[in-house]
Amino acid sequence: MFLYSLGDKVKVIHNVHAVGHVRTPWYVQGKCGHVAKIHGEFANPECLAYGTKSGVYVNLYMVEFKLMDIWVNNDANDCQDSISVDIFEHWLTLN
Amino acid sequence: MFNNFEKHQEHPHPKENYDSYSLSPFAKRVENLKRILLRRGLITQKELTATILELDQRTPFDGAKVVAKAWTNRAFKNRLITDASKAVAELGFHPPDDFQSLVVLPNTKTLHHLIVCTLCSCYPRWLLGRPPDWYKSLAYRSRAVIDPKGVMSEFGLTLDCGVRIKVIDSTAEVRYMVLPLRPKGTDRFTREQLASLITRDSLIGVGLPSKPPA
C-alpha cells in the first residue's frame, strides 16, 4: 500500500537534527519535488543500522527535484536540470 | 601495534610497517575496527579475504557487457530498463543480499544521467567492482549535486546544448548504472567490440563511451 503515486507533488520533511542513521540528505529537506519512480518496499536502514532486522519495512520513492529549486542562489544551473534522490515514505508529505 | 608476522588463517605475511607511511584518520579507524572484529571472532580473516576476492572478480567490463547486449538486443534493453536486477541476473550477475536492487538509466539525445552517492559511496559493486577513488571523495560527492556541469567539464565532458542533466543520488538500497548512448559508426560492430568502447566513467556519467577508431 503506497501512500504516494507517480507524479505526486511531495515535500521532504525538514528535520536536520534527526537522531540516528538518516538517509535523507539535508540539502533536500524541506524541498518540494515529484514522485518519479516507486521503488517498492525495503527494510528500513534507519533500523537496520541498530541491528533490527525483522518487520521494519518502508516504501521507497525516487523523488525528482529541479536543481534550481534546491540551490536557489546558483544561477549556473539550467532550469531543466534535475536531481533525483531516493527517499523513504516517512520522510515525505503531500505538497 | 602489529606483531612481526601476522598469521592469518591462510598464510603469514611480513610485518606491514604502518609507521613508514601515514594512514588517514579514517583508514586508521578502519584498521582498528577490522582488528577488533577479528579479535572478537565476529568475522574471520578467511571471510574477509573471500569477500574482497569476490568483489574484485567484478570490473566495469561486466557492466560494459550488459550495455553492449542492450545496444544490440531491443528486448533485453526493454527488460533492463523495466527491471534491471532481473535482466542482469540473466547474465549471471546477482547482488550480495536481498536488499540491493539495480536500476539502469538510459541516456537519450536530450537526457544525460550522472550518478553519485552524497552520503557515502554507494555503487553497484556486485556488477562493476570497486568504485574509483574520486567517486568516494568529498569533492565529487558534494559538487556533483551542486554543479554537475562543472564536475563533468573537469572530466573533459561537455554536453551538447539542450541536453538535460539528471543527477541521481543513491541514498538508499537501489544502485544505479547509466546506459550510455551507442556511439555513431558502430552498426557493424560485434558485441565484444562494442563492449570495448564502454568506459567505467560512461557508466557513472562523467564520460561518454569511446568513439570507434577512424
DSSP B23-63: PPHHHHHHHHHHHHHHHTTSS-HHHHHHHHHHHTT--HHHH
Mean pLDDT, residues B103-117 taken together: 98
Mean pLDDT, residues A73-88 taken together: 88
Tell me if B83 sits within 8 A of B75, measured CB to CB: no
- Average pLDDT of chain B? 90
Mean pLDDT, residues B114-122 taken together: 96
Cα B150 to Cα B141: distance, rounded to the nearest angstrom: 13
Q: Record the pTM.
A: 0.89
Supply the ipTM of this predicted assembly.
Answer: 0.95
**Which chain A residue lies closest to B101 (C-alpha atoms)?**
A39
Tell me if B124 sits within 8 A of B175, measured CB to CB: yes
pLDDT band at A55 (very low <50, low <70, confident <90, very high): low
Report residue A16 as a C-alpha cell. 536536520
- Residue A8, min C-alpha distance to chain B (Å): 19
**Which chain B residue lies closest to A85 (C-alpha atoms)?**
B169
Mean pLDDT, residues B100-117 taken together: 97
When mean pLDDT is compared across A28-42, B45-59, B60-74, B102-116, the lowest value belongs to B45-59
Cβ atoms within 10 A of the Cβ of B153, count? 13
The residue count of chain B comes to 214
CB contacts, 8 Å: B169 with chain A: 25, 83-86
State whether B164 and A86 contact (CB < 8 Å): no
Res B7: pLDDT = 41
Cα B171 to Cα A87: distance, rounded to the nearest angstrom: 7
Check pLDDT > 50 for residue B75. Answer: yes
